[in-house]
Every structure is written in C-alpha cells, then in structure tokens.
Amino acid sequence: MPTKLLMTWDILPGKEQEYFEFVVRELVPGMQRLGIQPTEAWLTTFGERPQILTGGVTDDLSSMRTALGTTEWQTLRDRLNEFVSNFDLKVVRASGGFQM
C-alpha cells in the first residue's frame, strides 16, 4: 500500500536563500536516492500554520521505514534543521488527495 511522508516546518529568517539551495541541491535528490518520490510542496502565506508542507511517497510502509532509518536520511534532516524550525513529520497511508 502506498505510504506518504508528510513534513512541515518554518524557514528561519535570513536563511531563505541557503534553504532553497539546500532543498534543490540536496534534500530532493537525497529523498529520491532513498526511494522517496517527492509529490508536493506547499507554502502557507496566511494563518497560524507551518510555513512549508511537503510530501513524498514510497510503494509501501516497509520501504518508507527503511529509507527513514538510514544515516543518509538522518544527515539530510540534520542539514535541514540548519535552515528551519518547528520541524515535524508523520507517515500516513497515501490517499491520492491533499493530506495534512
């Protein structure tokens, strides 16, 4: 059953340029190497929600667990945390529609 990784965070003030470079050059390619296919990225422009919501899918829960258990994933998360605050993630069954 397809499984989805949902992540949210806020970009640290003054880190926007470095953040976007990291996402394009390291985070997205790294997720793809781990077998997590990025599906979406949303920017909150109004309201009291995390600034960024992004998602990626794997074919099944086992593949997601394997990917998230790697040192490469931990390295990507550690690097991401240099540019963001309020990081959160959850793994859910992929529904095919918008998920939070």
Distance from C-alpha of 74 to C-alpha of 89, rounded to nearest angstrom: 13
Into how many domains does the chain fold? 1
* % of the chain at pLDDT higher than 70: 96
The answer as to whether 12 is a domain residue is yes
**Residue appearing with tokens 């050059």:** 25
The CATH number covering residue 18 comes to 3.30.70.100
Mean pLDDT for the chain overall: 95
Q: How far is CA 62 from CA 9, 24, 44, 83, in A?
A: 25, 26, 31, 29
The answer as to whether 98 is a domain residue is no
Residues of the domain holding 12? 3-93
Please state the rounded mean pLDDT for residues 14-29. Answer: 98
User: Poorest-confidence range of 3-7, 33-37, 73-77, 95-99?
Assistant: 95-99
The answer as to whether 99 is a domain residue is no
pLDDT digits (tens, 9 = 90+) for 43-83: 999 888 999 999 999 999 999 999 999 999 999 999 999 99
